[in-house]
Structure formats: C-alpha cells, structure tokens
Structure 1
Amino acid sequence: MKLIRSIIYCLTFVQYAHLIAPLWWDIGLQQQQKSSISSNPYFNLDQQQQQITEFLDDPSQYCSSLTGLSTGQKQICLLHADHMPIVSQGTAKGIQECQFQFQDRHWNCSIVHDGTVFGGVLKQANRETAFANAISSAGVTYAVSRACKQGLLKSCTCSRTSRPKNLPRDWSWGGCGDNVDYGYRFSRDFVDTPENEIKLDILPISPILVDTINNTLTLNDYSIINDHSLLKKRREMNRRKVRRQMNLHNNEAGRRAVYRLTRVVCKCHGVSGSCSLRTCYQQLPTFREIGLFLKEKYDSAVEVRFSGHGGNKNRQQQTHPQIRTRDRRFAGPTKDDLIYIHESNFCDYNPRIGSFGTKDRLCNKTSHGPDSCKAMCCGRGYNTIRKYVQEKCNCKFVWCCSVQCSTCTRLIEIQVCK
C-alpha cells in the first residue's frame, strides 16, 4: 500500500510539474542582467543593430541560451532570431511597468530569480496574474511595433495601415508610423504559443515510472491507481482548460490596449512654420500610458467562472470553456477587460502563492490610498522610525561653470508595517 501511495504521488507530481517550469518572461530578466534598460530602450540603435547581426550568424546557439521558451517559441526564435532581443526588451519593459504600477500595493511585482519571474503568484488565477499576463503581452507588442519603424527587423518596416477616413484630404498620409499591425500579430504568435501547446488529453509519465509500475503492481493495485489517477487527470485537464482560456483572454487584452491607445499624429511642413502641408502617421503612446490603462482594467477586473461544456452537449467536441461572470446580474466581460477566477490576499507571507507579505513595508500614515498604513499593513499597525539623513542644500551656481552645495542633516520619520 505504501508503494501505491508513492506511485500516486509521483503521478500527481508529474501532472503539476509544468506549473513550476521556467517561463519565457525570464528572458526579460536576462536582458536586465546584460545591460541596464533605460526608460526608452531604443536610443542606442547602432549597438542594437550590431547585437542583432551577431545573433543572425548563429541563431541556434542564441535561441538555446534563452531559458523558459516553449517548443513553439524556440521554433519562432530560429525563424526570427533578430526579433528576440526586441522581445527581451519588451518583456523587461513590462516587468518594470508592473513594478511601477504596483509599488504601493500589497503585491508589488516582487521578482524571484528561479526562472518563473514572479514565483508562485503565477500559479494563482487572480487579478495580479491577469495584469502580469496583459502587461507582458503589451510589452512585446509595443517593442516589436516600434522596432519595425526603426528598421531593426528584416521582416517588417513602417506601418502600412490604411488612411483614416476622417483625415482631411489635403493632409498627407504615409509617414513612417509604428507598425502596430505587425507587432500585434507577432506578439499573438509568440506570447500565446505556450498556452496553445498545452496538451489537455495526455499527461507525460516517465519511462522509469512505467517500468516500476509494470514490474511491481498486481491487477488489484492497477485498479486503485487507475481510479485515482483518472480522477486527478480529469481535474487537472479542467484546470488547464480554464487557466489557458483565462491567460489567452488577458494576453489579448494587453495587445488590444496597445492598439486602442495608438493614435494618429501629424507634423507640419512649410516656410517659417506656415503648416501649409501636414504629414500624418500612426504613433504608439508612451508605455506608461499603456500601464495606466491596464492598471485601471486591473482595478475593474471581472471575476468569472467557466462553463464546463462550452454550450456543446458532446463532451468529445468541447474545445474551449465559455466565460461567464461570477455575478449573473452583470453582462459578460469584453475583450478589453481583464478577468480572474479567485480573489487574492497578499497580506501575510505565503511562498506557496508567491506572497512576501507586507511586514516591514513602508507606508504613508497621512495617505488614504493603497499606500496608507491602514491598507498596506492590513490592520496590523505600524512602527514609526526616526532617523537623520544627509542631503544637499544651499546650492549656488558659481561662474563658470559649477554648482556648489552644502550638506545638511535633517531628522525624518518613516512608518514601517508591523
């Protein structure tokens, strides 16, 4: 009986092994380790072009160095090796934006360096996971769209989108705009590939484990294991279907955010700024605007449930569970909404769900927002710490050409959660 329990444990472990595997988002952390990414990672174009050319010489070696890529993503990397440095930058930009938007929240996009980027958080089907998926998908879309315009990629150029109908006739259309159409398509193919590769009907089992089962179990033992493993398998398949649909939906919401906020801008041409001619083209917003937009979607995220049959009575023909709002009084979520299944709680330390807790976090006792001591400390209270800090003061400009400052000492108070 002890052997049977051990084998059942191994089977269960195999079923959940994919949850702790490295994620493709880790290439964003690899990018940060190689170089410090500025607020605009496209300034040094010559250096980027040289780096991309080196990768093209041996794409297989480069692609194998990127951890966390799925089988399909590795194939995309081999076909579009010049895209991968851009994808890495876009992913890093998404992680940075997540940390900015959530700096005053219980979960502040804390990074763990185990290949999963955000650790156990991504195992949960909560609002935070929804935002993380959306902002990473948006980051890839944004970076690739801008790289096309800057001539960094061989398979795309400036935007070829059609002329807006409301553009005045005497205004020229066709300046070099950001290629959001291409960025959207590439991001969809690359970011969604791991979800589309999930096998819902077959769970991998080690050949060594198979030999152990065949050599040690009786027919009665087989019956016990089969009943237990089939039940586990069915539950795992349903969980995978639901999470896949949730992730795909939020990935799409991130891409649509980039599309929605892209605007038409026009430049004037003419003698002495007369603006006798205007050239218009498509331009991305700042990524901060995208982050703010998705943060609003996070705050208004829709709690959902998934119907088991997808409106199809034939279970064998079922492919995608149908999304329904948890509260039936409200209409279903739109494609622009973020969706989640379970509420989250990051007040206390819990490594299983990726929560570091809020103990020792700074808070603001005068605030009434999420950074307030009441909200940040989850009702546990806070300690006030007084300390002296040194800072520059009494600065004067000295001709020519320097600034001289004195050093002043000041007593400050900070609040830290208990």
Structure 2
Amino acid sequence: MARKRGRMTRTGWFVLVLSIHWILLLQCCCVASWMYLGVASLAGSVHDDTCSEVPGLVREQLEVCKDNPESLLCISEGARRGILECQSQFRFERWNCSTEKNYTVFGPLLRKGTKETAFVYAVLSAGVVHSVTQACSVGNLTDCSCDMSRYGEADVEGWKWGGCSDNVNYGLWFSETFVDAPESATQTGRNIRSLMNLHNNAVGRKTVEKLMSRQCRCHGVSGSCAVKTCWRGLPAFKDIGQYLKNCYERSVRLAGRSKRRLRRKEKARRREPITNEELVHLSRSPNYCRNNPKRGILGTTGRRCNRTANGAESCDLLCCGRGYNTQVVRHVERCRCKFHWCCYVECKTCETLVDIHTCK
C-alpha cells in the first residue's frame, strides 16, 4: 500500500504537466508587450479577431485595435522600424539591441530602468508615429488622411502651402493613445518607473514632430520657379534614430524616491526641470561584457570587432580587455570582366585575404 501511495497516477502527471504549462503561459503573457508586434508576422488579412490573439495588449489597446483593425499593421510596422533602428544605432556597442525569440522581445533587460531601456521606449514610440503618419498620407487608414489644414496659404517669401502634408498630429495622437496605454492601465501613474516610461515615450514622439521638414516644388515656364508649392514631410527614420541616440548619450539619471514628478538625481541641478528633449533613466547600465541570461545580457564573446578603430567597435573596447581571435578568410570572386562582341563576357578570378577579428 505504501508503494502505491508513493507513485503518481497517469492522471496526476497529466494534471501536473497541464498546470505547469498554464503557469508558464500566464507568466509569458504577463511580461508580453505590444513591442512583440515588431517581430511578429502579420502577413495576410487583419481582422477583429487578430487583436485578441496578440499577447500582452491591455484593454485600451484592444479597443483601439478593434475600432480600427487596419491600424494593427501600422503598429507592427512602427515597432519593427524602431527595433531595426535600435539595432542599427547600437550595432557597434557592447549592447547591440539584441532581441529574443519570444513575446518579451528584449527579455529581462527592460525590467531595469537603464539608459538602454529609455532608448527602446523612445524609438519604438517614434516608430509608431512615423508609420501611422505615413499610412495616413497614402490612404491606408480610414480614420485619417493627409494634412490639408494650411492648403493655399501664401508666405511672404513667395511660396504657398499646397500638396499633401504628412498628418503628424494624428500620428502623435494615435501613438500616445496606444503606446502609453499600459502605463495608465495598471494604475501606476504615480510610480516612478511608469513616469519614466511615459516621459521617454513622449520624447520619441516629440522628436518626430521636431524633425518634420518643409519640402517644396517649383512650378513655372521652362523650369522657372515662378510659383513654389510647399508641404510638411516626415524625416527619414534614421535621422530620428540618430537624434535619439544623441539623447541617449546625454540621458538624465532620476532621483528614485519621487513618485509625483521626475527630478534629477544630481543635487546641484535638482530644481532644473527636465525637458521633452532629454531621455531619463533610473539605474546604471551594466557593462554588457559577459553573458548573463537572467538579466538578458548576451555578452560580447564572438562579436566581430575592428582592430584598427578607436571607437566603440574597436577590439579593445568591444572585447572588454579579454582579447580577440583573428581568422584569415579567403574571398574568391569574378573580377576584371570584359564584354566581347558578340556576345559573351570574360572574367578573371580574383582572390583576396581578409582578417576577421572576433572577441574572445
């Protein structure tokens, strides 16, 4: 009898495995984020049911999605632009904006309010503004169109507003409504981390608006510029990424005790208000040198570096003083091609030896 009691029945094992499965699924959904849309495939038609299938969306985000299902593609594209731009800006850094193949996208890294977290929130918020605004101008969203509010107005410099300006105001409103929703949905508006996230989201949005440019086209006989029509256009997203990277370099560390407003940790500047052009963070960044899965850090082992550079991509900095391995790679390609009449191309084979340096 004692032996029978000590064994677990098949039903018991099934219940245990099922319970563990649901616990892991719930944990996954709890840390899931709308940022997952940036790495998810939304190929095919998007309908109302698609919104409920995206993990991590809060009630306000689900309402936005169901009221305007086609906006989900814009959000996905905006998040994708933000992630790719993050990886481009940090491609030579110790932290290279790496993502994980799960619903958390950036893994445990975003749990800490570091400078890197601040940049991620800002660039993805800007990505949604950029994508939605662009979709308005080309007619992909039913709730908006291009901005015609100043159409026909003349300027003293001899040009007038015309064409179809990018409707950045709608993009700003949409991004704020959707991207900021998780911070207010959890009713943690007076939590310093939520205030940090909201501020960095706003910096990303304001950057898009700040970098909007006036674009003009001349009209006249024989190419003369008798009339010049101008409109407002979106900046290239790489310009937004570069601007935010500069903000990242000057990010302001916050005093962690305040729950109602953001204050600088530096006592000498504590009364100086934080502007909407400054990213903010709470915690110091780790050095990202060694692999630490619990913190979402991959380390720099195996990363390619530049032996002759002096910047962040140099082997001295990127390899954290551990040294580097050198591998000689031979490239074989066709070269010195000539066209002979008629009709064939003759090429020679060229070999080049390239030194590849990777961190130990």
Q: Please confirm whether the aligned pair reaches a TM-score higher than 0.5, indicating the same fold.
A: yes
Residues 278-324 of structure 1 show CA distances to partners (whole Å, capped at 9, x for unaligned) of: 1111101111111111111111111111443xxxxxxxxxxx52211
Q: Does 1:325 align with 2:275?
A: no
Q: Distance in 2 between matches of 1:412 and 1:271?
A: 56
Q: How does 1:62-141 map to 2 (within 5 A)?
A: 62-141=50-129
Q: Does 1:295 align with 2:245?
A: yes
- Report percent identity of matched pairs: 39
Q: Does 1:256 align with 2:244?
A: no
Q: Distance in 2 between matches of 1:325 and 1:398?
A: 71
Q: CA deviation at 1:270?
A: 1.4
Cα pair distance change 1:164/1:351, threshold 3 Å: farther
Cα pair distance change 1:295/1:269, threshold 3 Å: same
SS for the counterpart of 1:281 is: strand
Q: Does 1:60 align with 2:48?
A: yes
**By percentage of residues, which structure has more helix?**
1
- Checking the alignment, whether the CA contact within 8 Å between 1:87 and 1:143 is kept in structure 2 is yes
Q: CA deviation at 1:87?
A: 1.3
Q: CA RMSD of the aligned region, Å? A: 2.6
SS for the counterpart of 1:305 is: coil
Q: Distance in 1 between matches of 2:49 and 2:29?
A: 27
Q: CA deviation at 1:415?
A: 1.3
Q: Which moved more, 1:124-133 or 1:166-175?
A: 166-175
Match of 2:14 in 1: none
Match of 2:351 in 1: 409
Match of 2:16 in 1: none
Cα pair distance change 1:105/1:400, threshold 3 Å: farther
Q: Distance in 2 between matches of 1:67 and 1:391?
A: 47
What TM-score does the superposition give when structure 2 sets the normalisation length?
0.86
Cα pair distance change 1:347/1:367, threshold 3 Å: same
SS for the counterpart of 2:311 is: coil
Residues 153-176 of structure 1 show CA distances to partners (whole Å, capped at 9, x for unaligned) of: 111111145489994364221320
Residues 123-176 of structure 1 show CA distances to partners (whole Å, capped at 9, x for unaligned) of: 111011111101100000001111111111111111145489994364221320
Match of 1:277 in 2: 227
Q: CA deviation at 1:18?
A: 8.5
Q: How does 1:180-195 map to 2 (within 5 A)?
A: 180-195=168-183
Gaps of 5+ in 1: 1-12, 35-50, 201-236, 309-319
Q: Distance in 2 between matches of 1:256 and 1:402?
A: 57
Q: CA deviation at 1:329?
A: 2.3
Q: Distance in 2 between matches of 1:108 and 1:353?
A: 15
Q: Residue 277 of structure 2: which of 336, 346, 357 is its match?
A: 336
Gaps of 5+ in 2: 1-22
- Checking the alignment, whether the CA contact within 8 Å between 1:19 and 1:123 is kept in structure 2 is no
Cα pair distance change 1:19/1:368, threshold 3 Å: farther
Residues 79-116 of structure 1 show CA distances to partners (whole Å, capped at 9, x for unaligned) of: 11121111111111111111111100111111101111
- Checking the alignment, whether the CA contact within 8 Å between 2:253 and 2:265 is kept in structure 1 is yes
Q: Distance in 1 between matches of 2:203 and 2:57?
A: 22
Q: CA deviation at 1:183?
A: 0.3
Q: Does 1:30 align with 2:18?
A: no
- Checking the alignment, whether the CA contact within 8 Å between 1:195 and 1:248 is kept in structure 2 is yes
Q: Aligned pair count?
A: 334
SS for the counterpart of 2:331 is: strand
Q: Residue 330 of structure 2: which of 383, 388, 406 is its match?
A: 388
Letter in 1 for 2:105: V
Q: Distance in 2 between matches of 1:242 and 1:18?
A: 24
- Checking the alignment, whether the CA contact within 8 Å between 1:262 and 1:283 is kept in structure 2 is yes
SS for the counterpart of 1:177 is: coil
Letter in 2 for 1:29: V
- Higher RCO (Cα < 8 Å, 6 or more apart): 1
Q: Distance in 2 between matches of 1:72 and 1:401?
A: 65
What TM-score does the superposition give when structure 1 sets the normalisation length?
0.74
Q: Distance in 2 between matches of 1:142 and 1:400?
A: 51
Residues 326-375 of structure 1 show CA distances to partners (whole Å, capped at 9, x for unaligned) of: 11223343111111111112111111221100011111111110001111
SS for the counterpart of 1:248 is: helix
Letter in 1 for 2:33: L
- Checking the alignment, whether the CA contact within 8 Å between 2:30 and 2:56 is kept in structure 1 is no
Match of 1:48 in 2: none
Q: Distance in 1 between matches of 2:250 and 2:124?
A: 19
Q: Distance in 2 between matches of 1:176 and 1:148?
A: 10
Q: Residue 361 of structure 1: which of 299, 303, 318 is its match?
A: 303
Q: Distance in 2 between matches of 1:403 and 1:88?
A: 45
Q: Distance in 2 between matches of 1:417 and 1:385?
A: 11
Cα pair distance change 1:370/1:20, threshold 3 Å: farther
- Checking the alignment, whether the CA contact within 8 Å between 2:38 and 2:76 is kept in structure 1 is yes
- Checking the alignment, whether the CA contact within 8 Å between 2:29 and 2:55 is kept in structure 1 is no
Letter in 2 for 1:151: G
Q: Distance in 1 between matches of 2:321 and 2:273?
A: 34
- Checking the alignment, whether the CA contact within 8 Å between 1:76 and 1:190 is kept in structure 2 is yes
